[in-house]
Amino acid sequence: MKNLQDKVMLITGGASGLGFATAKELLKRGAKLSLVDINEEGLKEKKEELLKEFPDAEVLTVAADVSIEEDVKNYVDETMKKFQRIDGFFNNAGIEGKQAPMAEYDQKMFQKVIDINLNGVYYGMRYVLPVMKNQGAGKIVNTASVAGILGVVNQTPYVASKHAVAGMTKNAAVEYGEFGINVNGIAPGAILTPMVAGAFQQINPEDPEKAQKEFSDGNPKKRLGEPYEVGTVVAFLLSKDADYVNGQVIPIDGGQSVAY
């Protein structure tokens, strides 16, 4: 299924986790990629991995810290310089931070989570939306989280930032829909990525697998999600098949967020 043939897709946080899994899904559908990540070495390795699997793919890599506005402007400029357009934007880069009760949370870490998860997503839309408006078309998918729908113990800045991403997604959809732009969000639950593995390590340093099992037992599917299961949803939202889906924040969590 080549429903994204020659479409230019921009992904932040592209060197690992959901970003990398989505990159593979988009390449399967014929897209051209601009991959952005703070980890320059990781980007090089992942580009090589992608080109082994998709030898004819066009993949640009740009190292950037999404919490720095000039870096964001640069990755948009570099993408435009190479491809002259941006058809889809997976605005995905984020961190969890540390786990601690609200009144004990380290203030520097709090600010770092907000700077990356909230400001980084805002800067991304700030510079990509004008490109798409000028084109008269485009699709954006922001990564929120189930933590953007519900409270999560010991993760105050993460929850605050992801709720804000969900809100910005709705606002952008309302403001830019008339210009042929769709803005949606995803709300993944616990997906088997390095970030989630690190969270279970924090919860139970002695036995993170036990923490993972306890969490999985509370899920209607009795398991964690796989990164590709997020990638396929993002690929749909970035395709023409989702032309009338706008302003939605879609949980990808096995049904956990709807269980009482």
Say which CATH number the domain at 145 has. Answer: 3.40.50.720
Q: pLDDT tens-digit profile of 115-138? A: 999 999 999 999 999 999 999 999
Among residues 127, 158, 244, 260, the one annotated as catalytic is 158
Are residues 76 and 202 both part of a single domain? no
DSSP secondary structure code for residue 62 in this structure: E
Residue 74 within any structural domain of the chain? yes
According to the model, what pLDDT value does residue 206 have? 75
List, for the chain, all residue ranges whose pLDDT scores fall below the cut of 50: none
Note whether 217 and 234 are same-domain residues. no
Q: What pLDDT shows up at residue 141?
A: 99
DSSP for 152-215, please give it.
-TT-HHHHHHHHHHHHHHHHHHHHHGGGTEEEEEEEE-SBSSHHHHHHHHHH-TT-HHHHHHHH
Whether residue 152 sits in one domain with residue 205: no
pLDDT value at residue 204: 67
Give me the residues paired with residue 105 across strands.
Answer: none
69-83 helix and 120-135 helix, angle to the nearest 10 degrees:
30
What is the chain's mean pLDDT, rounded?
Answer: 94
Q: Taking the C-alpha atoms of 189, 192, 50 and 183 in order, what is their torsion angle to the nearest 10 degrees?
A: 0
Same domain, 65 and 179: yes
For residues 224 and 212, the answer to whether their CB atoms sit within 8 Å is yes
Edge-to-edge strand list for the sheet holding 181-188 = 59-63, 32-37, 8-12, 88-91, 138-143, 181-188, 249-252
* Residue 6 burial by Cβ neighbours in a 10 Å radius (0-12, 13-18, 19+): exposed
Q: Are residues 147 and 215 in the same domain?
A: no
Q: 77 and 199 share a domain?
A: no
> What are the residues whose beta carbons fall under 8 Å from the beta carbon of 7, sequence distance 6 or more?
30, 31, 32, 87, 88, 238
Total number of residues shown for the chain: 260
- Is the same domain home to 105 and 140? yes
Q: For residue range 173-226, list pLDDT tens digits in order.
A: 999 999 999 999 999 998 987 776 677 777 767 776 776 777 787 788 999 899
In the chain, what is the greatest distance between 2 CA atoms, to the nearest angstrom?
53
Q: Are 218 and 235 members of one domain?
A: no
Would you state the pLDDT for residue 129? 98
CA gyration radius for the chain?
Answer: 18
Question: Does one domain contain both 31 and 76?
Answer: yes
Given this model, what pLDDT does residue 197 score? 67
* CA–CA separation, 59 and 132 (whole Å): 20
In which domain, by residue range, is 202 found? 193-224
Residue 127 annotated in active site: no
Instruction: Note the pLDDT of residue 259.
Output: 82
Q: What pLDDT does 183 receive?
A: 98
Same domain, 93 and 134: yes
CA angle 193, 195, 198 (to 5 degrees): 110
1 is a domain residue: no
Looking at the fold, whether 123 and 149 belong to one and the same domain comes out as: yes
